[in-house]
Amino acid sequence: MKKKLNIFFLLTVLAVGAVRAQEVILVENDSNRMEPFDMPEGMIVSEEDLMNDYNNREGLTDGNAATVRTLSYDDSVIVSRLSRIPTTIEMPLNNVTRKFIDSYSNRMKGSVSVMLGAANFYMPIFEEALERYGLPLELKYLPVIESALRPTATSRMGAAGLWQFMIGTGKRYGLEVNTLVDERRDPVKSSEAAAHYLSDLYDQFGDWGLAIAAYNCGEGNIQKAIVRNGNQEGADYWDVYNRLPHETRGYVPAFIAANYIMNYYCEHGIVPREATLPLETDTVVVQADVKFDRIAQLCNVTTDELRAINPQYRKDIVPANYTLRLPVVAVEPFLTYEDSIYGSGDISALRRAVTEDLVQASESVSTRSHGRRGSRSSRRNRNSGTKSVSVRSGDSLSTIAKRNGTTVSKLKKLNGMRGDMIRPGQKIRVK
Q: Which fold has domain 46-268?
A: Lysozyme (1.10.530)
**Listed range (173-187, 322-336, 345-359, 398-412) with the worst mean pLDDT:** 345-359
Query: How crowded is the C-beta side of 79, counted as CA atoms within 13 Å?
Result: 7
* CA distance readout (Å), 213 to 219, 225, 289, 349: 9, 11, 40, 45
Asked whether the beta carbons of 161 and 147 are under 8 A apart, the reply is yes
d(CA 264, CA 93): 15
Structural domain boundaries of the chain? 46-268, 278-374, 382-431
Asked whether the beta carbons of 109 and 264 are under 8 A apart, the reply is no
pLDDT at residue number 47 = 52
Residue with more model confidence, 267 or 362 = 267
Asked whether the beta carbons of 180 and 355 are under 8 A apart, the reply is yes
Residue with more model confidence, 20 or 238 = 238
- The pTM of the full predicted model, rounded to 2 decimals, is 0.71
pLDDT at 45 exceeding the cut of 80: no
d(CA 170, CA 399): 18
Correct CATH for 382-431 of 1.10.8.420, 3.40.190.120, 3.10.350.10, 1.10.287.540: 3.10.350.10
Provide mean pLDDT across the span 349-373: 44
429: phi then psi, degrees, rounded to nearest 5 = -80, 130
